[in-house]
Amino acid sequence: MSDVSTTCPYCGVGCGLLARSDGSITGDGAHPSNRGRLCSKGAALAATLDDATRLTMPAIDGRAASWDAALDLIAARFRETIARHGPDSVAFYVSGQCLTEDYYVANKLMKGFIGSGNIDTNSRLCMASAVAGHVRAFGEDLVPGVYEDWDEADLVVLVGSNAAWCHPVLHQRLLAARAAHGTKIVVIDPRRTATADAADLHLPLASGTDVALFNGLLAYLNDAGRIDHRWVERHAAELDAALAAARLPSAQIDDIAAECGIDPEALETFYDLFARTERVLTVYSQGVNQSSAGTDKVSAIINCHLATGRIGRPGMGPFSVTGQPNAMGGREVGGLANQLAAHMGFDDAQARAAVAAFWQAERLAERPGLKAVEMFDAIHDGRIKAVWIVATNPAVTLPRAGRVRAALKACPFVVVSDCWPTDTTTYAYVLLPAAAWGEKDGTVTSSERRISRQRPFRRAPGEARPDWWQFAEVGRRMGWPAAFAWDRPAAVFREHAALSGHRNNGRRIFDIGALATLDDAAYDALQPVRWPMPAGAVSEGGRLFATGGFPTADGRARLVPTPCRGQSGRGGHALLLNTGRIRDQWHTMTRTGLAPALLSHTSAPVLAIHPGDAAAVGLADGALARVTSDHGDMLLQTELRHTQRRGEVFAPMHWTEQFASAGCVGQLVGADLDPLSGQPALKATPVSLLSEPVHFHGLLLRRDAGPLPDTCHWVRVPVPEGQLYRLSGLAAMPAGDDLMRFAASLLGAADDAERLEAIDPRRGVLRVAVVRDGALEACLFLVRDSAALPPEAALIPMLGSPVPDRARAQLLAGRMYDRIAAEGPRVCACLGVSRDAVRHGIVTHRLRSVHEIGVLLGAGTSCGSCIPELEEILRDVRMPVA
């Protein structure tokens, strides 16, 4: 097999990859989005191609079934439900992981033929506020800029974006631009993240005060004479209204700084820098979007660019970066419940007629459907009676996850398509095995409107099939064979491209009509291309709006007044919980959790908290905290960090019941929604903390994953030969025979294995090793004092390794581990360099720069995602002790 060029399945940067004939995955030097660079997640993709845990057969009610039986059943149950309760009694909940072709078929089936708007996507949780902000400013959901703007800007403002961890290749590109020509970087984020560490200025604003900050900027720009009245007069409207709203309740820097909880001098420095820099790019992401005022935050940012005419020219403009690999593609086809198709809306009768005619749709949906949170509310209260969930895990990621689980349990008919078992697949009556990245064939669109091919380079295991095929099969079986007759993704793509140009005539900027005539070979060979590409276009699309041309009735953009709406109350809770991503994990870890290297940087969900807040509730570093909101409670280990704002805590969104007994942070989050976009406020949940007593500590190493007794809080960490579990006893350690039964339930090893045991009841210590065929099969250490646990780094390589007779006593006594130094967490996941190795190298070799660390240890020389952390270690080690 020759090398296959494809696209990364993780974030919206859309990096090009080469799947090599030797099984490795590398960056594609020819792809314009990344020019060969990858982050740690992309670099570890080859380690995730293990089929051992994949879903490979359809199942009905837990029993293996044929595709025919499963698809016939889905078609019949959806038909029956629609006949009895109407089209709005069914729903699809899909994903930014879906390819554009998957999305297109699902949207056509729901909106064109079932006749409901009830298809929404987990992109609702990611960038719905950006979409709503774009539409009300520009008239259409459009990102005006291109990635070259990251190179060409003189000032880049990152708002609510930890790009160093969440969009690392773009962040590396920005740092390279700074090295080349001194780009200034400002980060606006409540947390001091890796991105903030690399910035020239960090404004740690209080959560939810972005509108006040950008309103203040608009007023400052006006007062400083920086409004481009000529440009505004010709290309924008509503400046006066936006300015009037921006001045309320005050445009004084001191007042705004007090509202935002930041230093007035730092705020003025930012305002001044923005005012006098023409080439300014404002990048925003989930920290802006995931808010009950998300759309207003987006508008407040865009207002500043429209007022100064800084849009669509090199190095300037508002720039939304999407979390998911194909959030943009989903928006193109109309995968959000409030969109119709191809950037056409429900409120336009001509558009509805055009789509109905193009699809020859029997009953086109006439109004928007339910957005994600509303959709699961409707399932909960019985209005929706059949749902098909595709490539997403709402039992973990939606707010009030406990209520979502209850809804799925009560729903009369739940279909789930996925590649791996998840918390959500446990609720499936019909479970469909989906083809995964590397097996699927189609397209994705990156944050800069660039369409790239995802190409297959391996066979799907068992009977796994692509999502577009599943939807098309059900469409045919529901009675519409002609409308769902495609035999390959290229045919779906051609129809999607043709619809974008259908009766368009320049009314909509999303137009890829030029790609509607690609034959199969040309589709196969399609190179990354940025839209718009209307029929007849000979070159790809570029920046938008430098000279106006907004797709509105009068061709002008709209500034939108964004009066501050004030903050919601905390309901008696002392802290605000912010949720988000960590550097090396993706979504609910179904793929990244397969690569042990990606768990070497952060291996467990922890609650980051300022030491002052921790002390107030008696929590020490590493203590177990019970986190309670109005919607649920969970246990998280605390990690004290001075980088947290006082009054705010942070927990990662990735962990599920597959990886921890209580990792699902979605169960704490409420359903506070942005009123326009319907995007939930995932970053500001009022919570309280209590210290949870831990009666004993444990380490369990075994081959298989599986549930553990609920008397333990546990976290599972995949390791090269099996699984490591960290245990915290929530009740007293059992004694006598109960202890041995408890140990046996944890170890779960086969009867033919040899068991070595050492018990010291007085000190509260149990050590058990299970040896089979001379190799360590499992081991368990339970202790009252966590300091008595062996170092994990020494223990992990022993799983599956030979245990010589002479070493058995040492193994149980723990002496073997004492001689092996634990290295601490890995900083560089690509080259496996630990934090301690970096510190040691800096001290002993007097290293002075990240470059010198790279030369000595290799750290930071592959994807570069760890460079901000290497800089932090350098600062730390060099910092004189007071």
Q: Candidates 164-172, 173-181, 673-681, 789-797: pick the segment binding ligand SF4 (CB under 6 A).
A: 164-172
- Tokens for 703? 């081959």
With CB atoms as reference, the residue minimizing the distance to ligand SF4 is 42
Would you count residue 293 as binding ligand SF4 (CB under 6 A)? Answer: no
Among 5, 11, 441, 679, interactor with ligand SF4 by CB under 6 A: 11
Write out the H or E segment, with its range, that includes residue 189: none
Classify residue 138 by its DSSP letter.
H
Enter the tokens of residue 772: 């089979």
Beta bridge pairs of residue 680: 673
Tell me which stretch binds ligand SF4 (CB under 6 A): 9-17, 516-524, 696-704, 748-756: 9-17
Ramachandran category for residue 48: left, alpha or beta (phi over 0 → left; psi -120 to 50 → alpha): alpha
Query: Does 336 participate in binding ligand SF4 (rule CB under 6 A)?
Result: no
- Stretches 35-43, 86-94, 266-274, 449-457: which one binds ligand SF4 (CB under 6 A)? 35-43
Q: Which is nearer to ligand SF4, 7 or 339 (CB)?
A: 7
Nearer to ligand SF4, 581 or 702 (CB): 581
Nearer to ligand SF4, 18 or 267 (CB): 18
Q: What is the DSSP letter of 660?
A: B
Alpha-carbon distance 670 to 186, whole Å?
31
In the complex, the smallest distance separating the C-beta of residue 566 from ligand SF4, rounded to whole angstroms, is 36
Interaction of residue 15 with ligand SF4, rule CB under 6 A:
yes
SS3 state of residue 782: strand
Q: Which of 39, 94, 163, 604 binds ligand SF4 (CB under 6 A)?
A: 39
| Closest approach of ligand SF4 to the CB of residue 37, in Å | 8
Whether 33 and 530 have beta carbons less than 8 Å apart is answered as: no
Backbone angles phi, psi at 633, to 5 degrees: -145, 160
Nearest to ligand SF4 of 13, 743 (CB atom):
13
Determine if 34 is a binding residue for ligand SF4 (CB under 6 A).
Answer: yes
Residue 479's CB is within 10 A of a number of other CB atoms, namely: 12
- Cβ proximity to ligand SF4: between 41 and 380 the closer is 41
Q: Which one-letter DSSP state was computed for residue 862?
A: S
Q: How far is CA 259 from CA 266, 293, 561, 877, in A?
A: 14, 16, 19, 36
Is 23 or 675 the residue whose CB approaches ligand SF4 more closely?
23
Among 146, 169, 373, 747, contact with ligand SF4 (rule: CB under 6 A): 169
Stretch that binds ligand SF4, among 37-45, 230-238, 257-265, 820-828 (CB under 6 A): 37-45
Residue 326 vs 723, nearer CB to ligand SF4 = 326
Of 11-19, 61-69, 101-109, 247-255: span binding ligand SF4 (CB under 6 A): 11-19
Residue 849, judged by CB atoms within 10 A of its CB (0-12, 13-18, 19+), counts as exposed
The answer to whether the CB of 433 falls within 8 A of the CB of 419 is: yes
Report the alpha-carbon angle 439-443-448, nearest 5.
135
Between CA 157 and CA 642 the distance in angstroms is 23
> How far lies 619's CA from each of 26, 147, 607, in Å?
44, 44, 11
Residue 22, judged by CB atoms within 10 A of its CB (0-12, 13-18, 19+), counts as exposed
Is the Cβ of residue 320 or residue 638 nearer to ligand SF4 in the bound state?
A: 320
String of DSSP letters for 300-319: HHHHHHHHHT-SSSTT-EEE
Q: How far is the CB of 38 from ligand SF4 (least distance, A)?
A: 4
Backbone angles phi, psi at 426, to 5 degrees: -65, -15
633 alpha-carbon distance from chain centroid: 23
Query: What string of DSSP letters covers 784-809?
Result: SSGGGSPPHHHHGGGTTSB--GGGHH
Minimum CB separation of residue 868 from ligand SF4 in Å reads: 14
Residues near 436 by Cβ (< 8 Å), separated by ≥ 6? Answer: 54, 419, 460, 464, 591
Instruction: Name the segment binding ligand SF4 (CB under 6 A); options: 147-155, 165-173, 217-225, 651-659.
Output: 165-173
Among 25, 32, 42, 659, binds ligand SF4 (CB under 6 A): 42
Quote the crossing angle between the two packed helices 850-857 and 835-845, to the nearest 10°: 100
Of 4-12, 103-111, 206-214, 330-338, which segment contacts ligand SF4 by CB under 6 A? Answer: 4-12
CB nearer to ligand SF4: pick between 168 and 466: 168
Enter the DSSP assignment of 63: E
* Segment near ligand SF4 (CB under 6 A); pick from 36-44, 133-141, 207-215, 432-440: 36-44
Residue 322 vs 679, nearer CB to ligand SF4: 322
How would you classify the pairing of strands 648-652 and 575-580?
parallel
| Residue selected from 5, 6, 13, 239 as contacting ligand SF4 according to rule CB under 6 A | 13
Instruction: Using CB under 6 A, pick the residue from 41, 136, 331, 477 that binds ligand SF4.
Output: 41
In 182-323, alpha helices (H): 194-197, 210-223, 229-235, 239-246, 253-260, 264-276, 286-289, 294-308
* Cα–Cα distance for residue pair 314/146, rounded to 1 Å: 9
DSSP-derived 3-state class of residue 736 = helix
Q: Is 10 in the site for ligand SF4 (CB under 6 A)?
A: yes
Min dist. Cβ of residue 406 to ligand SF4 (A): 33
Could you say whether residue 323 binds ligand SF4 (CB under 6 A)? no
For residues 326 and 644, which CB has a smaller minimum distance to ligand SF4 in the complex?
326
> Residues in contact with ligand SF4, total (CB under 6 A)?
14
Q: How far is the CB of 12 from ligand SF4 (least distance, A)?
A: 7
Q: Between 97 and 685, whose beta carbon lies closer to ligand SF4?
A: 97
Report the nearest approach of ligand SF4 to the CB of residue 692 (Å). Answer: 35
Instruction: Figure out which of the listed residues 5, 6, 8, 654 binds ligand SF4, where binding follows CB under 6 A.
Output: 8
The answer to whether 168 contacts ligand SF4 (rule: CB under 6 A) is yes
Interatomic CA distance for residues 781 and 117, integer angstroms: 54
| Of residues 366-425, those binding ligand SF4 (CB under 6 A) | none
Shorter beta-carbon distance to ligand SF4: residue 165 or 388: 165
Closest approach, Cβ 295 to ligand SF4, in A, equals 25
Supply the Cα-derived Rg of the chain in whole angstroms.
27
Q: Smaller CB distance to ligand SF4: residue 312 or 528?
A: 528
Q: Does 117 bind ligand SF4 (CB under 6 A)?
A: no
CB 774: neighbour CB atoms within 10 A? 11
Among 3-11, 289-297, 339-347, 525-533, the segment contacting ligand SF4 (CB under 6 A): 3-11
Burial class (CB in 10 A: 0-12, 13-18, 19+), 347: exposed
Smallest gap, in angstroms, from Cβ of residue 528 to ligand SF4?
A: 13
Which range binds ligand SF4 by CB under 6 A, 39-47, 529-537, 826-834, 838-846? Answer: 39-47
CA dihedral 8, 11, 13, 19 (to 10 degrees): -10
Which residue number, 40 or 338, has a Cβ lying nearer to ligand SF4? 40
Based on the shown chain and the rule CB under 6 A, indicate whether residue 307 belongs to the binding site for ligand SF4. no
CB of 15 to ligand SF4, least distance (A): 3
How do 63-64 and 90-94 pair as beta strands? unpaired
Please identify, using beta-carbon distances, which residue of 407 and 444 lies nearer to ligand SF4: 444
> Using CB under 6 A, which of the segments 5-13, 59-67, 415-423, 778-786 binds ligand SF4?
5-13
When the beta carbons of 14 and 790 are compared against ligand SF4, the nearer one is 14
In our burial notation (b when 16+ CB lie closer than 10 A, e otherwise), range 509-543 reads bbbbbbbbebeeeebeebebbbbbbbbebeebbeb
**Element containing residue 739 per DSSP (H, E):** helix 736-747
Residues that bind ligand SF4 (CB under 6 A): 8, 10-11, 13-15, 34, 38-39, 41-42, 167-169
